[in-house]
Structure formats: C-alpha cells, structure tokens
Chain A
C-alpha cells in the first residue's frame, strides 16, 4: 500500500515557467514532510521541508504548500531553470520514526 502518492510521474516545463509537483498522504500520524532533489547519478539531497503547523514554506524559488485537511502537499518551483532538471521525491515521516515514506518520484525536465 502506497502511503504517499506523488504526481505527475514526469513533467516538462519551459524555462521561466512554474513547475508543480503534488503529493497526497493517508496517515495522519505523519508530522514532517521533506522534499528531495536527485540529479542523475547522484544520491537524493534534502531540498526543503515543512511541518504541518504551517501552510507554506518558501526558500528562494522553491515553495511547499501544505493542506492538512486535504492531506496534500505540493512543491512549486518558480522561474524554473534548466539546472532544476532532476527527479524530485516527496516524503512523509511519522513522529518518533527516523524512516520517511517516499513518493515514487517525479522526473522534471526544464527546456531552455
């Protein structure tokens, strides 16, 4: 059973556009929601994370929007650049657990 559903599986955006990746979860015990960015041939790296007590977190061009009632969260990449082309994973972690549940990933391609 997939506890974190991520969509779309792949995304193509023009340079300067907005990239939006969505995730939905079922377990209300999740209390930490990180996003990871993975470039080809590299390990994933933490990009940005949010806790459910806030509805939005912004770091530069990257914003997480969180809807607790809908059990959904999304990553918005403003002014997308070719260097943002990577695979993005959302994740959710239960309080007291060290192991996050990952979404299946979204392959983002930003065309110049």
Chain B
C-alpha cells in the first residue's frame, strides 16, 4: 500500500536560519508531489508541485523553494526563514486522476 512520510512533525527555528523539510512516498512510482502551507486561518495554500524528477512548478512567489532529487522525494527549503514562514506545512501526492493524499504535516514556528 502507498504511504507518505513527512518529517519533522514540529520544528522551531530562529529568523534567518535555513529550512529543509522532507517528504517521501512509498509504494508507488512517478507520483505527482505537492507542498501546501496552512496558516492559522485554516486555508490550504498550494506552494509547489512536481510532476517528475527535477520538475518544479511554483504557485506563489515567496521565500521558499522546492526540489525533487528522486522520484519519490520532495524537499521544501529556505535559505533564510522569515517570521511569516510560520505555519503548518503539508506534503501531498497523487497518481490516479482522482487520488490526492496528504501527509501528517510539519508545524513550523519561526521565532
């Protein structure tokens, strides 16, 4: 069965520090991968998506970047975190047209 792993679950980072969040998918090949951010107001904001290795599409210009070094690995990064980067970050994947599965999320607090 397919599973999605996202870590860490929680993270507290100082302003100006770098960020690396990792997401991996097991049990499937060539998934579409997505990064979402959920602010305190609950809404889901699509940040990046990838349809293949090295292919990244950005939905919102910001202080973050994404990379897909392997088929089932998706990384969200920042060189210097801002206070406004705080939030709940969710990775998701899909293969079939109607499938869309989220990971358990990373709570990032920038202090």
List residues of A whose CB falls within 8 A of some B CB.
32, 34, 36, 41-46, 49, 87, 89, 93, 96, 98-100, 102, 104-105, 107
A42 engages B104 (CB within 8 Å): yes
Given contacts A87-B42, A98-B32, A99-B49, could you give 18 more A-B pairs where the C-beta distance is less than 8 Å? A42-B105, A43-B90, A43-B92, A43-B103, A43-B104, A43-B105, A44-B90, A46-B100, A46-B101, A49-B98, A98-B49, A98-B51, A98-B100, A100-B100, A102-B43, A104-B41, A104-B43, A105-B44
**Set A32, A46, A89: member contacting B44, Cβ < 8 A:** A89
* Size class of the B contact interface (CB-based, 8 Å): 20 to 34
B102 engages A44 (CB within 8 Å): yes
Closest to A2 in B: B43
A105 engages B42 (CB within 8 Å): yes
Minimum CB–CB distance from A107 to chain B (whole Å) comes to: 7
Interface centre among A34, A43, A93, A107 (most CB of B within 10 A): A43
